[in-house]
Structure 1
């Protein structure tokens, strides 16, 4: 049996599960939702199995008769089970009784929200801190609380980060030999196009166009490229382009499968920054999927190749490094009850890669740089933001690919990605 890798989400589950009658763990396939939930369950119902699906469909009360905690896995295979759990909670099921795992219900399924009854928790692919690459020495939660202690050194270098980008954060895939890993990632993407889309109620008439659209979206990683430009890049010279509604359907289906993990624009609540951009920054669920869609392995990335589709003036490796950082920071921030956004002014003269916002509106500002040193020019947007919002900025930091964690003379924190943790 494979040893269980404890997840950042486990700490949240430890705090919440004993007190919640029902919670859901959602996220893309193969991120480890079932493995985490099974360790907490006394009874397991796998709705991916036809026999168990038939039993629950015929007699939903089995959900309340089983000893708890009860894991209802692959719930989207029988969408009405969500409402059965919701009604069981209303009827007074005990605390800690239900764990629901899976993805969203198919389009057209009638499912009530469960708001106030079923608490949703998101699981992403493995963050850097969950990959045992190095021991984090700088805590996001501590920085959010104003604890600015920064120290540590790492032997992780650019080649190691490129390996992490291409290995993926999917637990069952990342440890495989590179060629096998590439085959698994290809199969993952093929399954999305050939099975997951139809099962979500989005039949695909031209799978090659969807695959090209995915590659163009991957090329837009860590940018706010307009969807119209992504479509144009996916269909050069194609006279019969998909309609705008079709590409929006692509986006909606991928979102429902948790395969898009865009960074929303930060809209400040405590200060008066104006003329901010309102477009999300594009990310897939895992940078390895983006690299694979672009036909890039580790050696190609280290040769500074851009892949089969180019949409940005920057290097795709820099964009994928930012994606890896954002994936990790999303996980750490949610564990700290914080939200992640990005800042870009409408005239593009200032941008901050990631803004981590506490519930009270105060923030950490983060720039991500694929470099082994940080220059004064790398922190200018951070110092601009500090001048604009004052004490609403708790701290400012640069995540980079260098060796040491330290605080600059201008009070900006510099942290290797491998040393940054929850």
Structure 2
């Protein structure tokens, strides 16, 4: 299959010739190896145990072969990181090493930070623009410029297609399969996390079914800030033999280290007159298809409003609305990363004000984004965006509602309305 360029490729094209070492990090199956392979002359795949043992016995091999050198699943032999760092200390020539990893190193493993020597990039599943479902007409980078760019364009992508994209997943090797095969592959992906990935990374899973139940409850809390005790209760209803909180915390730590949990942190603005904001992250799995698969919900069921949610306080969104928000978050994260921006969410402690996504530049100015599972936008839907603009003034570069509708446009109050299919990097 021909390689399809990713959003991250543009950054790699510009930086790798000048940087000696780049690390691509992300969950298994997001496409790290395919992207890195486009630039590598020599490859070491440490998922091959024999090759891993050979490299462990002589890690200097990576400096004696033709560059660029790709070390895939490098975290399985952490001394590779330190050897690359030393090699870069000795020679800053660009374009020498690519490290691809599907997990952070295990706690207690000592490696140098690599700061100033190894530059890390996070890869996630395919954003909506990378799926080639439609052609974007609105750029997040342009919105971040703060010049209120023209917002226009039309899309034929409707709610059934968005549901299909949620269930199809953004994993390049899974999404193109027939529906039945795709379901089996997603099931296998989830089982592999519990039965192989965690044990390979030093975690003894005493009760796999309990961990799978907790993961399903976490997925059911998608796009909420439900407490971890609430999630645990939902995972074990009526079960007196619940996993202890310490065990769940260990699972959560390692699932985050494997990039399976991908929560959105609370946005806490600097030098701003906003008080009493929550510090709780919003829960998201690396791909909403995993949450949907854990719930066992069908396309027809999603459209009918089926699906049990784990919620906090006054959550009112539907299960489909939560999964659509997760799909939007997945894409916006990719586009924000390409623009050297970060994302967070805002909610006041009284829950009277909340904004789904804040995309923040390095100078702390933001694009505020609400997500709406609808084709139409009312004044009520933009009230929190306009409130934030009133509070922060020109620190809010733009206000956006992302919808499932057919058209991109600006409202009279300046809020941009953009279908997800028309948003791009």
TM-score (norm 1): 0.98
Secondary structure of the residue aligned to 1:222 is coil
Query: Quick one: which of 375, 378, 389 aligns to 1:372?
Result: 375
Per-residue deviation, residues 213-269 of structure 1 (Å, max 9, x unmatched): 011101100000000100000011111211111111111011110011111011111
Structure 2 residue aligned with 1:197 = 198
Cα distance in 1 for partners of 2:310, 2:223 equals 13
Aligned ranges for residues 123-138 of structure 1 at < 5 Å? 123-138=123-138
Query: How far did residue 50 of structure 1 move?
Result: 2.3
- Aligned pair count reads 420
Secondary structure of the residue aligned to 1:61 is helix
Contact 1:157-1:402 at 8 Å conserved across structures: yes
- Asked if 1:92 is matched to 2:95, the reply is no
Contact 2:255-2:261 at 8 Å conserved across structures: yes
Structure 1 residue aligned with 2:145 = 145
Structure 2 residue aligned with 1:304 = 305
- Asked if 1:273 is matched to 2:309, the reply is no
Contact 1:106-1:199 at 8 Å conserved across structures: no
Cα distance in 2 for partners of 1:33, 1:421 equals 20
Secondary structure of the residue aligned to 2:59 is coil
Cα distance in 2 for partners of 1:216, 1:113 equals 34
Query: How far did residue 58 of structure 1 move?
Result: 1.6
Structure 1 residue aligned with 2:318 = 315
Query: How far did residue 54 of structure 1 move?
Result: 2.3
Structure 2 residue aligned with 1:187 = 188
Contact 2:55-2:61 at 8 Å conserved across structures: yes
Contact 1:80-1:110 at 8 Å conserved across structures: no
Cα distance in 1 for partners of 2:50, 2:248 equals 36
Cα distance in 1 for partners of 2:158, 2:55 equals 51
Cα distance in 1 for partners of 2:316, 2:385 equals 22
Cα distance in 2 for partners of 1:11, 1:270 equals 33
TM-score (norm 2): 0.97
Aligned ranges for residues 20-419 of structure 1 at < 5 Å? 20-103=19-102, 104-147=104-147, 148-307=149-308, 310-311=310-311, 313-419=316-422
Query: How far did residue 310 of structure 1 move?
Result: 4.4
Runs of 5+ unmatched residues, structure 2: none
Contact 1:48-1:74 at 8 Å conserved across structures: yes
Query: How far did residue 112 of structure 1 move?
Result: 2.2
Contact 1:262-1:280 at 8 Å conserved across structures: yes
Runs of 5+ unmatched residues, structure 1: none
Cα distance in 2 for partners of 1:310, 1:90 equals 49
Contact 2:230-2:310 at 8 Å conserved across structures: no
Contact 1:64-1:93 at 8 Å conserved across structures: no
Structure 2 residue aligned with 1:5 = 4
Q: Which moved more, 1:288-297 or 1:48-57?
A: 48-57
Cα distance in 2 for partners of 1:64, 1:134 equals 43
Cα distance in 2 for partners of 1:53, 1:196 equals 17
Per-residue deviation, residues 165-208 of structure 1 (Å, max 9, x unmatched): 00000001001111110000000000000011111211111111
Query: How far did residue 94 of structure 1 move?
Result: 2.2
Query: How far did residue 51 of structure 1 move?
Result: 2.8
Cα distance in 1 for partners of 2:60, 2:212 equals 42
